[in-house]
Amino acid sequence: MDGWHLLVVDDEPVVRELLAATLRFAGYEVTSAATGSQALEIARDTPPCLVLLDVMLPDMDGFEVMRRLRKLPRRLSGGRPDQVPVLFLTARDTTQDKINGLRLGGDDYVTKPFDLEELLARIEAVLRRAGAAPEDRTLRVADLELDPEGLQVLRAGTPVRLSPTEFRLLHYLVLNAGRVVSKAQILEHVWRYDFAGDSSIVDTYVSYVRRKVDRTGPKLIHTMHGIGYVLRGPRS
């Protein structure tokens, strides 16, 4: 989903880093900010397609950030500052807070704690309503096609059956196509915080995926000894 830039604004480092990692894994480009001032500065320099905005920030609340966001130069969001989608994230769940956020121009309001899968679905829905979501989300490298929404993989038009973990691993490699990723990076993004064991599990699952994906056609998954792995198309 290259080019779809999301801005995450939250003063809690753990929440901010978890959201950024999850969104990058889903294929978005992500920039993070810990304060409202940082968020506005980033939005001026790098126009986002959507802002995930915490209401309770140290320098100003999210509602004030929203007001100032609406006054930024018109180059924001394709020249329409009032059309930048905003999804509020907050522990404040009173009806009045929700009404305030939506009346100020917020497109959705999600309370903490939240389910990551539900949040991703809400982001997609907001982007669709805003006319910002891409029609085709399929990722392609050579004759390999990966559909992150439909959870399908094709190699030269033939379906490749993968387990959930194998799919996450291949998805991460495809998102980083042409770039060498280390075992530590793979563990962090594929196994998240659920696995604290030997990194040899990465080698095991790469071999599983390689047997299925590289069974026919040119080899796409390459081992960089002592470094990690890289997925790339055949070199001309």
Radius of gyration of the chain (CA): 20
* DSSP summary character for residue 14: H
Task: Report d(CA 63, CA 97) in Å as an integer.
Answer: 10
Task: Report d(CA 188, CA 85) in Å as an integer.
Answer: 29
Indicate the pTM of the whole model.
0.55
For domain 5-129, give the CATH number. 3.40.50.2300
Give me the pLDDT at residue 76, please. 38
* Distance (Å) of CA 211 to CA 74, 84, 85, 204, 214: 51, 44, 42, 11, 6
Give me the pLDDT at residue 133, please. 52
* Of 208, 204, 212, residue with least CA distance to 159: 212
Listed by start position, the domains of the chain span 5-129, 139-231
pLDDT at 102 over 60: yes
* CATH architecture of the domain with range 139-231: Orthogonal Bundle (1.10)
- Tens digit of each residue's pLDDT (9 = 90 or more) over 179-222: 999 998 898 888 765 555 567 889 999 999 999 999 888 999 99
- Tens digit of each residue's pLDDT (9 = 90 or more) over 77-98: 444 444 678 899 887 666 776 7
Give me the pLDDT at residue 36, please. 93
* Distance (Å) of CA 171 to CA 1, 101, 123, 200: 12, 35, 19, 19
- Tens digit of each residue's pLDDT (9 = 90 or more) over 138-165: 889 999 999 887 788 999 999 999 998 8
Sheet holding 221-224, edge to edge: 181-182, 228-231, 221-224
**Contact (CB, 8 A) for 231 and 221:** yes
Asked whether this chain's domains 5-129 and 139-231 adopt the same fold, the reply is no
Give me the pLDDT at residue 83, please. 64
Q: Which residue(s) pair with 154 in the sheet?
A: 145, 159
